[in-house]
Amino acid sequence: MKRADRLYDLLQILKDGRMHRAEDLARALGVTPRTIYRDMDTLAASGVPVEGERGRGYRARAAVTLPPLNLTEPELEALHLALAVIGEAGEAPVRSAARSLAAKIDAVLPEETGSAAQRFGLATYPFAEAARGFRFMPRLRAAIRARQKLRATMAGGGGARVIRPLRLDFWGRVWSCVVWDETAADFATLRVDRIEDLAVLPGLFVDEPGKRLEEFEARGSGR
């Protein structure tokens, strides 16, 4: 059984409000008591209202619950962005709620290595890091649509570079932009949170052999 499914089943058992011994929960879910201890720690750390009493077991206090949701990867990205903005800029109680909600989402994401959902790491990645480059996102999106050249200055020095933005990606809670770097005459992947300044240039660009997104993708796949 996937951990996400087990956590959901565990909540279904606990929501009756009665005490349940770890041994009984383990038997019902086909795992060891040690696994139940870890799962309860995960649920508690994620803000789920569970409590335990030594020698008696665990129970969940009353709380608002939602039915299971199937989210697409873009929907999960949108949810992360919203939580990151609130977690960085909201008032203290709202920031705390955003972190708690992010932790709950992280607790029920699939565990499989390489799964798209796992890469987001919603509960552990600092909100400030993800939010740092948000102000450049509309400019990058508009430039990709319009095929507009940009001048990017990155943190860490190296000077400004003229780029052709080709695609925005979202990996591990970090936004990046695939570009053709005219200054270096090569493809590059720029972390959006490392951009210090981004200026729109008057020149537009057109597809040219060797500088197109599909050629960057082909290079990465080894074709």
Confidence band (pLDDT; 50, 70, 90) for 78?
confident
Cβ atoms of 63 and 49 within 8 Å: the answer is yes
Confidence band (pLDDT; 50, 70, 90) for 87?
low
Cβ atoms of 158 and 114 within 8 Å: the answer is no
- Residue 24: CB atoms within 10 Å: 15
74: phi then psi, degrees, rounded to nearest 5: -60, -35
Domain boundaries, the chain: 3-60, 73-131, 134-221
Cβ atoms of 150 and 139 within 8 Å: the answer is yes
How far is 122 from 47, CA to CA, in rounded Å? 14
Q: What is the pLDDT of residues 171-184, one digit of tens each?
A: 545 678 999 999 99
DSSP H helices, the chain, are 3-14, 22-29, 33-45, 73-89, 92-107, 127-131, 137-146, 213-221
State in words which class domain 3-60 has.
mainly alpha
Q: What is the CATH number of domain 134-221?
A: 2.30.30
DSSP tally for the chain: helices H, then strands E: 8, 7
Kindly report the pTM of this predicted structure: 0.50
3-state secondary structure of 3: helix
Mean confidence (pLDDT) of the chain? 78
What is residue 130's predicted lDDT score, i.e. its pLDDT? 54
Q: What is the pLDDT of residues 100-110, one digit of tens each?
A: 777 777 666 65
How far is 63 from 172, CA to CA, in rounded Å? 30
What is residue 127's predicted lDDT score, i.e. its pLDDT? 44
Tokens of 169: 């990606």
